[in-house]
Chain A
Amino acid sequence: MNPLAATLKLLANNNNDSATAVLIAALDASQRDIRDLALVALLDRGGPAAELHILRNWPNLSERWRQQVADRTDWLSAAIRAAIVNREAAIFSTACSAAVATRNYEAIPHLVAVAADAASPFAARAATTALELTDLLNEELNSPRDYRIRRDPQLLRAHVLVALERVMDRLDGPYAREMLEAFLLLASRDNAAISRLLQSPAEVGHNLLVSVLTICSRPAIEKLLLSYLDDPRAPHAAINIIGRRADISFLRHLGRKLADGPTPEQSANLRRIQTIAFLPDHLDLIDALRDAEQPGIVHLVVESSISRDLVFVVLNYILRQGNVSARRLAANALTQFSGPAADGLALQLLEDDDTQVRAAAAGQLRERNVPGAIDRLVDILSSPHLEERQAAQAGLREFTLGHFSAVFDALTPAARVASGALVRRVDSRAIDQIQADMTSINRGRKQRAIEMALALDAVDVLQVPLALLLKDEDQYLRIEAIRALATLDCRLTREAFRDALLDSHPLVQQAAESALAQLKRATADLAAKPTSASRAEMPINDSTAPGVAIPPSPEISTTALTEVMS
């Protein structure tokens, strides 16, 4: 240990009180390192004289030294407490500054006592200092605990709350607002004093409490107010205040709280909101909200009891100018609204940038009976986005194989082809179902399956099960299968037809012969016109998997089709 350090160590640990005086004098030493070491030794030594000296000189201490003192938790607390309790005019203000700088929360009860004394000349300073300290304590309570500091912030909170709670009965003093704010910073919504004040308009502090909860922008107080949304028995005044607040900081907190959707308790409380202050004049406040906050406002508006016209105005605004997540929610919420304006908005949403918004709008088209809805949905079936395709399929629910099969006999051949193409696009399981029917033991189902395969233009996909039908014991079914396969020219069908030439039944042989001749003619025509493409030339392996293939849109009018299908 170097000699200077040995000197300071002795001065720090010696029981001679003169050492304190020496260390205090050393704080003004000519060399900086000696001054710094003297401060550390003085902090190690402690004692009332040292604390009082530091407190008296607090305004002149450098920021670094103040921090060093503040790092010694409670080192200065006795001197601060003495200055506040004794109301020493010379150092009261300094003690308040030091209390804030050193986070001396134990001083809050003493400051509250001074602030409650209206006659005291220090009441104003004491009130603001108590509020500042409470704010700092609240900050410490809401941040991860630093276990290097031994004091427990929760215990301090309980201790300070008791002192502040005493003032709640006397909220008519000049600094009642500061005291109330300090109290609200630390109290929870279950606090009896707050509940009593909120539920008793005749109480002295009721108006002040309502005013603070309506105006105050301290995050902790805003969170306290918002916590009433989770209360199954929230006071009416608190719910009203939530609706009355129109400041952006509160709307941000509210938006974040409701962003993931309200809980049952929150929904129940939101339904109690009759008015929302920022609507309809300050819709532009929504623009200031972030992605994670705007959805919460959609929930607030939709779940509240404000007029439905106003809700539609908000949804309209959000759907035009809102963020993606809010637009998605609003598009889904639009289902609650009918009428030309809502229908028009839903149609406009089909042009939105976001897939999910477009899908939500597409899902509403049929229910709204919008003219041209089926045309639109058919177009959407070709969308590269799964959500949109699924929405369109849901909107065209009646174009399923089952329904198509039921009305099949009533359709003209042209309508069968057009509807079949649509059914194939809408009903993703149609091909599988036809294939299953082809292997059924029921002759009628097999017959209908062949007709369906032709109507859905799915012979290329179903050529294998069709070829297997050439081995069926029913000669008429075999003939039907040959006719169906004759629409497709490929190696498998030609081989199947050649096998069928050896069929036991002459009609089947004849059908196979004419099918082969038909294919030959088609090939010759193609050779004459080499540029024209033919689907029949597609190799077997090129055919897409059953149920996935999407043929092009039908040429026939879908409006006419719907009439037929219905």
Chain B
Amino acid sequence: MNCLTYSLAVATWGAKQPKPGDWTFGWSAVGLIGATSLLVITLIWLAIKSYQARQRRERHSPWRLFSDLCRTHHVSRRHQHILKCLAVQYQLEQPAMLFIEPKWWEAEQLGPTWSPHLSELNRLRLRLFSRR
């Protein structure tokens, strides 16, 4: 009985074994693998480039520096908006200059259009340029 069972098992295993000529490797398979690889490489390259571009933008971004300074000083969104308008008005290449040059905050420099915001700006200036 055992001997019969063994013979059947060997016959079944022998029937599933690949034999020469069972599998054919065609050009379509090569193309598929190449296209998949190219896609993956392109995606990785794009991701790296994108990351580098972002890094570069961040490293050379005056507005990002401005945002960092606003965050450091807990400047509210409303005040951030006012400061951005101020930087745009003065055409400041580096808007962060507003945080180190008090002269940009002077009423004479600002002009009459800023009259409604003067007291608000004055309070903000005192806060940003306080020595204590």
Q: A residues engaging B (CB < 8 A)? A: 2-4, 6-8, 10-11, 14-19, 21-22, 25-26, 29-31, 33-34, 38
Contacts and interface: CB of A to CB of B under 8 A. Distances in A.
B102 A30 contact: yes
B131 A18 contact: no
Name the prevailing secondary structure of the B interface residues.
helix
Contact of A26 (B60, B62, B65, B101): B101
B120 interface: no
B129 interface: yes
17 contacts: A2-B130, A2-B131, A4-B128, A4-B130, A7-B73, A10-B69, A11-B65, A18-B60, A18-B62, A18-B65, A19-B65, A21-B93, A22-B65, A22-B100, A25-B100, A29-B101, A33-B131
A31 B131 CA distance: 12
Interface string B119-132: 00000000111111
- Best-buried of A3, A21, A25 by chain B (most CB within 10 Å): A3
B96 interface: yes
Contacts of B127: 3
B129 A3 contact: yes
Contact of A7 (B58, B64, B69): B69
Contact of A18 (B94, B99, B130): B94
Contact of A31 (B96, B97, B102): B102
Contacts of A3: 73, 127-130
Given A6-B73, A22-B100, A16 B64 contact: yes
B87 to A, nearest CB: 12
B72 interface: yes
B50 interface: no
B117 interface: no
Contacts of A16: 58-61, 64-65, 68
A423 to B, nearest CB: 94
Name the prevailing secondary structure of the A interface residues.
helix
Interface range, B side? 20 to 34
B7 to A, nearest CB: 75
Contacts of A11: 65, 96, 100
A18 B102 contact: no
Interface string B46-61: 0000000000001111
B103 interface: yes
A15 B73 CA distance: 18
A448 B75 CA distance: 120
A2 B128 CA distance: 9
A7 B65 contact: no
A17 B97 CA distance: 14
Nearest to B126: A3
Contacts, number: 76
B102 A7 contact: no
A34 B65 contact: no
Nearest to A21: B94
B96 A19 contact: yes
Nearest to B130: A3
Contact of B68 (A10, A21, A30, A33): A10
A75 to B, nearest CB: 21
- Best-buried of B61, B100, B127 by chain A (most CB within 10 Å): B100
A38 B69 CA distance: 15
A26 B69 CA distance: 15
B100 A8 contact: yes
A6 B131 CA distance: 10
B72 A17 contact: no
Contacts of A2: 130-132
A18 B103 CA distance: 20
A25 B97 contact: yes
- Best-buried of B65, B103, B131 by chain A (most CB within 10 Å): B65
Interface in B63-88: 64-65, 68-69, 72-73
Contacts of B60: 16-18
A16 B128 CA distance: 21
A34 B73 contact: no
A451 to B, nearest CB: 105
Contacts of B72: 6-7, 10
Nearest to B56: A17
Given A7-B72, A30-B103, A33-B131, 18 more contacts: A3-B128, A3-B130, A4-B129, A7-B73, A7-B99, A7-B128, A10-B72, A11-B65, A16-B60, A18-B64, A18-B96, A21-B93, A22-B65, A26-B100, A30-B102, A31-B102, A34-B102, A38-B100
A7 B74 CA distance: 12
A16 B94 CA distance: 12
Nearest to A19: B65
Contacts of A31: 102
**6 A-B pairs with the lowest CB-CB distances in the bound complex, closest first:** A18-B62, A26-B100, A18-B65, A16-B65, A22-B96, A30-B103
Contacts of B103: 30
A25 B59 contact: no
Contacts of A34: 100-102
A25 B129 contact: no
Nearest to B59: A17
A7 B66 CA distance: 11
Nearest to A8: B100
B57 to A, nearest CB: 10
Nearest to B96: A22
A11 B58 CA distance: 14
A277 to B, nearest CB: 66
Nearest to B103: A30
B131 to A, nearest CB: 5
Contacts of B128: 3-4, 7
A15 B68 CA distance: 11
A267 B61 CA distance: 75
Nearest to A41: B100
